[in-house]
Amino acid sequence: MTVRLRQQVLDAVVAHARRGHPREVVGLLARSAPHSGDIVDSHPLLNEERQYPHLGFLVSPGALAAAEQAVHDAGLHVAGVYHSHPGRSARWSPADRDSARVGDVHLIVSLRGAVTEIRAWRRVVDRTMEELPVVLVA
């Protein structure tokens, strides 16, 4: 599956990541149809990780459920989550893999270098993550 990411969604995700720096930020991604790679919207969530917020994220089940409801209310479908890596590359960590739902898109934004790095992953059943190509669309 190719992730087709709208430019305005990317802009919102990167702006969120910069606002939250040096903490990780997290949010929900919405797609136009089930199993589609078309990412058309994003919903910021609060990172409730208190001890190491620069190294990980935690979202309360209630906040996640409310954001998922907002996606459904907009006539869209939950695609997965995005989060930022303030000081690391956009490669997934073991904690990222363990928190990812099988089949969901997992977009990671790295602010480590001079150029923002964006990579997309998808958890597969055997506890690994496969990389998904990302294409920006208008």
Q: What mask of x and - would describe binding to Zn ion in positions 42 to 81, judged by CB under 5 A? A: ----------------------------------------
Nearest distance from residue 135's CB to Zn ion, in Å? 22
Furthest CA-CA distance within the chain: 38
Backbone angles phi, psi at 102, to 5 degrees: -55, 130
Q: Does 86 bind Zn ion (CB under 5 A)?
A: no
Return the residue of 31, 96, 120, 129 that touches Zn ion, per CB under 5 A: 96
Choices 14-22, 29-37, 96-104, 115-123 (CB under 5 A): range interacting with Zn ion:
96-104
* Cβ within 8 Å of residue 102, ≥6 positions away: 123, 124, 125
Element (H, E) at 128: strand 128-132
Q: Count CB atoms within 10 A of the CB of residue 96.
A: 19
Could you list the residues that contact Zn ion (CB under 5 A)? 93, 96
